[in-house]
Structures are given as structure tokens and as C-alpha cells.
């Protein structure tokens, strides 16, 4: 099942997160590859948390309400992805983030990019929308061609 919830966070909390992540002081890091290091695509990432390393970001606390609302018991990773506007939608490879847990994709800004599932379901990038699904469902990101210069999503992997 793929669950889509609009206006997931209260407006004030969401606007605070959106302002932080789209602001000039938020740190993004270059990533050679969107799905795999050798996939020929690039993006910018901000790793909030991963168990192998632990706390990766001074901003992890902004996701407390989010994690409470999805009823996460254990966090495997919280990772933000920033892609830039392209002239043609250049899809990434279908992939699974982690096996046998849950994945949530949280959309920070609205544009014409989207998440596409292997079964044909499309979830448009709409700010403050979350898409929650079984992590075994293969999905891919489709970059945007309209709607600002950047597309920002945050991936949560948890159980």
C-alpha cells in the first residue's frame, strides 16, 4: 500500500523546516550518483542520520514530530536529496532504499518532479506532502523541469 498524506505537518512547523532547508545557511554535500555511485547522475545530499555513523547533522531534532507522527520505533536513515531543474526529466534507476521496513518521502517544495513506483503509481512533488510505503516497493525520482531551480525531498527509512 502507498499512502499519500497532504499537509502532514502543521503549517508553522513545516514552514520553519522549509525555510531552513531552502536557505543559504543549510549545508548540502555533493554526491556522485543518485542511486549508485556510478549511475552517471549527481545531486546534493544532507545526511541527518544513519546508524553506522550516528548523528550526522546538527538539525536532526527538526524531525521529531515527523517521526512521532509516522510512529517510527527505530530509525535506519534520514537523508535529504536536492536535485536541480533539468531541461528534460531524466529519471533515476528504480531502487529500494532498505529491505523489509518502511520508507517515507517528504516533499519540501512544489514542482513538476515526482516519485514513480515500478507499479505505475506517481506521486507529485507537493510541499508538505508525505508518501509512506513498504520499503520493498521499487521507486525512482523524476527530476523537475518547472517550478523553481531545486527539488528537495527527505527520505526516511524506519520501522
Can you tell me the distance from the alpha carbon of 59 to that of 56, in angstroms, rounded to the nearest whole number?
A: 9
Question: Range with the lowest mean pLDDT among 12-16, 29-33, 90-94?
Answer: 29-33
* Mean pLDDT within 3-26: 97
Using one digit for the tens of pLDDT, what is the confidence trace for 35-78?
556 645 557 889 999 888 777 799 999 999 999 999 999 999 99
Task: Give the model's pLDDT for residue 48.
Answer: 95
Name the average pLDDT for the chain. Answer: 91
CA-based angle 105:113:84, to the nearest 5?
A: 95
Using one digit for the tens of pLDDT, what is the confidence trace for 89-137?
878 789 998 999 999 999 999 999 999 999 999 999 999 999 999 999 9
Task: Give the model's pLDDT for residue 43.
Answer: 78
Task: Give the model's pLDDT for residue 56.
Answer: 79
Task: Give the model's pLDDT for residue 41.
Answer: 59
Task: Give the model's pLDDT for residue 121.
Answer: 97
Amino acid at each position: 500500500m502507498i499512502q499519500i498524506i497532504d499537509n502532514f505537518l502543521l503549517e508553522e512547523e513545516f514552514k520553519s523546516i522549509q525555510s531552513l532547508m531552502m536557505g543559504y545557511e543549510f549545508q548540502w554535500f555533493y554526491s556522485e550518483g543518485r542511486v549508485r555511485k556510478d549511475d552517471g547522475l549527481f545531486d546534493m545530499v544532507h545526511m541527518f542520520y544513519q546508524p553506522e555513523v550516528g548523528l550526522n547533522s546538527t538539525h536532526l531534532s527538526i524531525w521529531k514530530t515527523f517521526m512521532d507522527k509516522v510512529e517510527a520505533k527505530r530509525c535506519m536513515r534520514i537523508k535529504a536529496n536536492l536535485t536541480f531543474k533539468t531541461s528534460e526529466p531524466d529519471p533515476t534507476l528504480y531502487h529500494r532504499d532498505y529491505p523489509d521496513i518502511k520508507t517515507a518521502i517528504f516533499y519540501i517544495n512544489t514542482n513538476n518532479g515526482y516519485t514513480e513506483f515500478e507499479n505505475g503509481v506517481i506521486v507529485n512533488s507537493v510541499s508538505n506532502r508525505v508518501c509512506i510505503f513498504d520499503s520493498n516497493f521499487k521507486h525512482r525520482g523524476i527530476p523537475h523541469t518547472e517550478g523553481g531551480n531545486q527539488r528537495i525531498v527527505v527520505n526516511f527509512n524506519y520501522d
